[in-house]
Chain A
Amino acid sequence: MSVSSGVEAKRPARWSWYRLRRRLPNLLILLLLTAVAIVSLFPLYWLFATALTPASATVKLPPELIPSEPTLENFRNIIKLSGQGKLKLPGQIIAMPRMLLWFVNTLALALISTGIHVLFDTMAGYAFAKRKFPGSRVFFWMILAALMIPGQVTLVPLYLMIAELRLVDTFLGVLMPGLADVIGIFLLKQYIQTLPSELEEAARIDGASEWQAFTRIIVPLAAPAMAVTAIFAFQRYWNAFLWPLVILQSPDKFTLQVGLSYIYNSEFGTNYGLLMSGAALASIPMILFFFAFQRYFMQGLRVGAVKG
């Protein structure tokens, strides 16, 4: 003990010049990065700061950098002023403010789309990864080729198809074309390829049907890749704009993004407190979603799950 304390006595003190000089570069980097991050995050901060500022204070000079009297007044007003809408469920009609209706529409569309998307992508990814069948190469190359085609090429023909099917201004018209996205198949195939085949074969020997082998063996093992696919799909559907904008016409059917552009083009378009609170309501779920699944976002990015 006495020996070790003798060694400790020779160590430099906690805040000696030596330590400071060694740490100074990192401290400077930390400060620099913080400054860059503040610039990057400023729009997001300004969104919430303005949303929480009373309407009278948003047209005041100089602007309040930190809301001095934060209030939820803008949030209450945007919900009230967005107008009354009707949620039509089978058998009943529920009246609610449009802002909430758009929230329900967006959530329902995003959840249903994500669910179907992940199921179909996992099935196809499994078939391409583990099964040999005539035409598998051709089908897979078609999928890879489709990744290169920008969405604008199919926009007009898809609109005409939906018009011919008389599905303009319906949720089905928004939902269906959005499901044909092939990036998830690619991701899941890559992942399922790395899984051992023995478990699946053992299940089959034990008398499991092909479908059971898929749901009981493949799905649990592929869950991490399915989660990544689901998270990116959900983000994409929640934030989708152009296609819902083209298809949806009656305000009661809008999604949040289309509704926001509708409010911006309405009489409230220059009331920035209102506008920002609407925009905040549309982004809070995505922000919470990001914090909950941050790890998966970062992983997904590295396996190339992000398109464009």
Chain B
Amino acid sequence: MSATPLPLGTRIGKAWHRYKWSYFFIAPSMILFGVFIGYPVLRAVVMAFQKVTLRESTWIGLDNFRAVFSSQLFIDSMWHTFIYAFFVVAAWITSSLIVAALLQPLANRFQSLFRGAFYLPYVISIIVISLVWIWIFEPDYGFFNFLLRSLGLPRVLWLQNPDMALWSIIISTVLVVPGTGVVLYSASIGSIPRELYEAAEVEGANGIQKWMRITVPLLKPTTLYLMVIYTIAGFQIFERVYIMTGGGPINRTTTIVQLIYMTAFSDFNFGRASAQALILFAIIAIFSFFQFKVLSTDVEY
């Protein structure tokens, strides 16, 4: 704090000399961030209010949003996405919690073996996984219809029947226990203090009481985290649908991201696709917010 401030040029020069290395270290990331995230987000917001072609853009106000909300296909896609996300989140949270709890009493080498086994499917691309499921769902020679036939049941057109296709995609997702949930839950269960269970035993609590009163409440932060990331992933479902049904039959499996993809790259209606993407963003933000509100009550050990 000098009495007479230095000339502006000198001050900037001094600051530059002092901080230039800091800016040098963040520059590559921040430039990439600005060009490939910041700018496109702003442009998406602008485009949502425009009619955009590869040549020119014209301002059309809220027309894109009006068109989106009055489209039956968009309403259907939202509905399909919600159904998918709801069942997948519920099944994934439940199955990973149960598997993680069952792992706990086992010896360490078994625990890490199972954690690896449940995580392995998650390093494989969804394209590969979806292709395998197409083969499992194949009407004549597929594994599922072979099982049904062995049980004397009629065959099911898993992906071809309009009433079945969305459920088949859900089945293909929920039958695989999520490795992320198993790993995270089993880490959190491992960190619950043993004394809590011992105290409960002294007071005569049985296994189910211990589970409902100690384990489940203390896992709330992990449940919250998993619920948020699984809901986000569920709302963003695309690859499975794109490969397994392409949104069909008769649009009965079209999800929001599949619709965005088709609006942008089949119809080349870039403005409307941006409006759809912003609506998806808003839905995800609202859901995450409410999950935090409902689940993030204080947890104390």
If over half of B's interface residues share one DSSP class (helix, strand or loop), that class is named, otherwise mixed; here it is helix
Among B72-80, B126-134, B193-201, the stretch in contact with A: B126-134
A131 CA / B19 CA spacing, docked (Å): 9
In the complex, which range does the number of interface residues on chain A fall in? 35 or more
Determine if B28 and A123 form an interchain contact, defined as CB atoms under 8 angstroms apart.
yes
A287 CA / B122 CA spacing, docked (Å): 10
Cβ-based interface call for A143 (8 A): yes
20 more A-B residue pairs beyond the given contacts A29-B102, A294-B119, with a C-beta to C-beta distance below 8 A: A36-B99, A39-B175, A41-B121, A62-B150, A120-B29, A134-B19, A146-B33, A154-B44, A156-B264, A157-B41, A161-B39, A239-B127, A241-B239, A246-B265, A260-B127, A275-B135, A279-B127, A279-B132, A287-B123, A298-B115
Residue-wise interface mask of A (247-279) relative to B, using a CB-CB cutoff of 8 A (1 in contact, 0 not):
000000000010011001000000010011001
A155 CA / B281 CA spacing, docked (Å): 13
Determine if B44 and A157 form an interchain contact, defined as CB atoms under 8 angstroms apart.
yes
* CB proximity of A70 to chain B, nearest CB, Å: 18
A210 CA / B21 CA spacing, docked (Å): 7
Determine if B123 and A261 form an interchain contact, defined as CB atoms under 8 angstroms apart.
no
Residue-wise interface mask of B (97-113) relative to A, using a CB-CB cutoff of 8 A (1 in contact, 0 not):
00100110110001000
* CB proximity of B101 to chain A, nearest CB, Å: 10
Closest 3 interchain pairs by CB? A180-B36, A239-B125, A127-B25
Determine if A153 and B175 form an interchain contact, defined as CB atoms under 8 angstroms apart.
no
Contacts of B38 in A (CB 8 A): 142, 146
Given the known inter-chain contacts A32-B102, A37-B117, A152-B236, please indicate yes or no for A306 contacting B180, CB distance below 8 A. yes
Determine if B138 and A272 form an interchain contact, defined as CB atoms under 8 angstroms apart.
yes
A154 CA / B44 CA spacing, docked (Å): 7
Contacts of B44 in A (CB 8 A): 153-154, 156-157
Cβ-based interface call for A91 (8 A): no
Given the known inter-chain contacts A275-B135, A286-B123, please indicate yes or no for A154 contacting B280, CB distance below 8 A. no
User: Which residues of chain B (138-166) have a CB below 8 Å from chain A?
Assistant: 138, 140-141, 143, 146, 150
Q: Which of B102, B132, B265, B288 contacts A47 (CB 8 A)?
A: B132
A63 CA / B236 CA spacing, docked (Å): 35
Cβ-based interface call for A121 (8 A): yes
Contacts of A154 in B (CB 8 A): 36-37, 40-41, 44
Contacts of B150 in A (CB 8 A): 62
Cβ-based interface call for A40 (8 A): yes
* CB proximity of A228 to chain B, nearest CB, Å: 14
Cβ-based interface call for B183 (8 A): yes
Determine if A283 and B128 form an interchain contact, defined as CB atoms under 8 angstroms apart.
yes
Given the known inter-chain contacts A134-B15, A180-B32, A308-B232, please indicate yes or no for A155 contacting B25, CB distance below 8 A. no
A91 CA / B141 CA spacing, docked (Å): 49
Q: Which of A30, A39, A41, A257 contacts B125 (CB 8 A)?
A: A257
Contacts of A131 in B (CB 8 A): 21-22, 25
Determine if B117 and A43 form an interchain contact, defined as CB atoms under 8 angstroms apart.
no
Determine if A123 and B277 form an interchain contact, defined as CB atoms under 8 angstroms apart.
no
Contacts of A195 in B (CB 8 A): none
Determine if A139 and B284 form an interchain contact, defined as CB atoms under 8 angstroms apart.
no
* CB proximity of B48 to chain A, nearest CB, Å: 10
Determine if A124 and B183 form an interchain contact, defined as CB atoms under 8 angstroms apart.
no
Determine if A297 and B143 form an interchain contact, defined as CB atoms under 8 angstroms apart.
no
